[in-house]
Amino acid sequence: MSHTSQKNSRDSVFTNRKIVGHEDLNPNGTLFGGKIMAWIDEVAFMSARRYSGVPFVVTVHVDSISFLMPLFLGDHVILTSQVNYTGRTSMEIEVRVEREDPYTGNRTQATSAYLTFVALDENRKPTPVPSLLLESLDDEHRHREAHLRSKVRERMRRHLKNRKQRALSPPRANATLPDPAPIYILSKHLKRIGARELSASVDEHVLKVERTLRKRVRVVLGIDPHAEIAG
């Protein structure tokens, strides 16, 4: 798939209908949350596959889901999904879940979710998806909001990767830290007895020790020792 190909979000719209059965209920007698999540993932998968045009698409992230109302035995549930935003190989898919009155057809929103899928090639490596054509104000609005969410996800991903990296690199066993207390005491004492020149050179030494300490603490904590850290 060439990254220069384009598609509009209408190409990715899927609507799935479900009826809440006995097997879908939790002990409270309402639709099991995990069941809705599976239905959401399923319809989003269809959108991702249709849009990307490749057989392998995987969910890599699900943004928070809020359940706005309970769903009961026999309720008609409509799940509608479409692509909001694309990166190079990833797509954000929005899924809207509504309860439909079986007799009037009136719909009430029950929940919605944003999922990120990645398209994979035959070697199961990320592969480019078509870029998204924005054809209406609504498309632009959804794209803008999704772009903001993608930035949050990227930050979260970087954070999780760093944390994993830190967990994998245990602190060095010999990372003993020099004790700065005696040097501070010496510097104070020299000032008190008027040995200003000597005390200045001790202060300089104290600063050096402090810098070394900060660096070592960062190494122990798994933080880049050269990174700028406020304070």
Ligand X SMILES: CC(C)(COP(=O)(O)OP(=O)(O)OC[C@H]1O[C@@H](n2cnc3c(N)ncnc32)[C@H](O)[C@@H]1OP(=O)(O)O)[C@@H](O)C(=O)NCCC(=O)NCCS
Choice between 99 and 153, CB closer to ligand X: 153
The binder of ligand X chosen from 3, 5, 34, 88 (CB under 6 A): 88
Q: How far is the CB of 10 from ligand X (least distance, A)?
A: 21
> Which contacts of 8-11 are long-range, i.e. CB under 8 A and separated by 24 or more positions?
8/132, 8/133, 8/135, 8/139, 9/82, 9/83, 9/84, 9/132, 9/133, 9/139, 9/142, 10/82, 11/50, 11/51
Q: Please select the residue that binds ligand X; options are 30, 56, 63, 87, rule is CB under 6 A.
A: 87
The reply to whether 60 sits near ligand X by the rule CB under 6 A is: yes
Backbone φ and ψ for 160, nearest 5 degrees, come out as: -65, -40
Question: Whole-number minimum distance, CB 75 to ligand X, in Å?
Answer: 27
How distant, in Å, are the alpha carbons of 187, 200, 208 from that of 197? Answer: 11, 5, 17
Helix (H, G, I), strand (E, B) or coil at 81: strand
Alpha carbons 171 and 220: distance in angstroms, whole number = 5
DSSP per residue, 54-71: -SEEEEEEE------S--
Applying CB under 6 A, does 208 fall inside the site for ligand X?
no
For ligand X, what does the binding mask look like between residues 102 and 141, x meaning CB under 6 A?
Answer: --------------x-x-------x---------------
Of the candidate spans 25-33, 52-60, 162-170, 199-207, the one that interacts with ligand X by CB under 6 A turns out to be: 52-60
19 binds ligand X (CB under 6 A): no
User: Near ligand X by CB under 6 A, which window of 31-39, 56-64, 136-144, 191-199?
Assistant: 56-64
Between residues 164 and 211, which has the closer beta carbon with respect to ligand X? 164
Q: Which residues contact 192 (CB under 8 A, 6 or more apart)?
A: none
Q: Decide: is 89 part of the binding site for ligand X (CB under 6 A).
A: yes
Residue identified by tokens 């245990």 is 170
Structure tokens at 217: 């603490």
Residue 157 interacts with ligand X (CB under 6 A): yes or no: yes
Partner residues linked to 85 by β-bridges:
92
Q: Could you tell me which stretch among 63-71, 83-91, 93-101, 102-110 binds ligand X (CB under 6 A)?
A: 83-91
- Count of residues of this chain found to bind ligand X when the rule CB under 6 A is applied: 13
Which residue lies nearer to ligand X by CB, 165 or 212?
Answer: 165
Mark out the alpha helices in the chain (DSSP H runs).
33-52, 137-168, 181-192, 196-221
**In this chain, which of 8, 16, 30, 59 binds ligand X, going by CB under 6 A?**
59
- Footprint of ligand X (CB under 6 A): 58-61, 87-90, 116, 118, 126, 153, 157
